Amino acid sequence: MFFEFGFSGLAILILALLAASIRVLREYERGVVFQLGRFWSVKGPGLIILIPVVQQMVRVDLRTVVLDVPTQDVISRDNVSVKVNAVIYFRVIDPEKAIIQVLNFLEATSQLAQTTLRSVLGKHELDDMLAERERLNTDIQQVLDAQTDAWGIKVANVEIKHVDLDESMIRAIARQAEAERERRAKVIHAEGELQASEKLMQAAKILGQQPGAMQLRYMQTLANIAGDKSSTIVFPLPIELLTGMAELRSSRKE
């Protein structure tokens, strides 16, 4: 009886030791193995056998992590207060560093992303935040990637999601945009007037060189006026016609 109990207890102990020593890692997982507290190796994927009590393993996920950066209060270089949030994409490329060099790489990356977001955006003006997000995303990504490299983490991308302004700033931007549209309209109108005046000057020079062309233009104008339905037509008498009549009268007197 005692022998049977001892054998069954030994079998249970062996099964418990086997369960404690066998690990299965998926394709996207790696195991950082410590032996008596010291780093031993990185294992996986597949079946991993550990020495119970002597060896311990920490799982590390190598898939890309999507981390939402909470809304941050940012003061731009032109002293405008805005609320900005973003999202970052990163993954672990060195499991050993991710476990040994930092206590919690997810929390550390999140905190670093928040401070970097405020630091980088604070160096730019509001117009840059609204119009040049791609460049700002690249700047933030490069700063984060350089700082997380010591943790075995690769920051692949950073995207600024929202830049929230207060109502007064939105109204000021709307007034600025309206003033800009009015300025452009006045510039376009002035350029049109300048081009029209230049064309009129060229036409006047051409007509002045050919008196007959001036007479034809005058007759064409009379024809256009005659086509109108107005009851009274007032048109100027060309000075050339008066000069011709005066010369004709003087010649008859002689």
Q: Do β-strands 38-43 and 46-49 pair in parallel, antiparallel, or remain unpaired?
A: unpaired
CB count within 10 Å of CB 128 equals 16
Global pTM exceeds 0.75 = no
HSE at residue 189, side-chain half, CA atoms within 13 A, is 6
Which CATH number fits the domain that encloses residue 113?
A: 3.30.479.30
Can the peptide bond before residue 45 be classed as cis, meaning omega within 30 degrees of 0?
A: yes
User: What Rg value do the Cα atoms of the chain yield, rounded?
Assistant: 43
**Structure tokens belonging to residue 35:** 């032996």
106 shares a domain with 151: yes
Whether the pLDDT of residue 80 is over 70: the answer is yes
Convert the pLDDT of each residue in 123-155 to its tens digit: 998 888 888 889 999 999 999 999 999 999 999
Whether residue 88 is found in the same domain as residue 149: yes
Select the more confidently predicted residue: 249 or 28: 28
Structure tokens at 99: 């476990």
Residues 50 and 88 in one domain: no
Q: How many domains does the chain have?
A: 3
Domain that holds residue 158: 65-165
pLDDT over threshold 60, residue 231: no
In percent, the amount of the chain with pLDDT more than 90 equals: 41
Q: What is the dihedral of CA 78, 79, 80, 84, to 10 degrees?
A: 90
Q: Is the pLDDT of residue 249 over 80?
A: no
Q: How far apart are CA 241 and CA 247, in angstroms?
A: 10
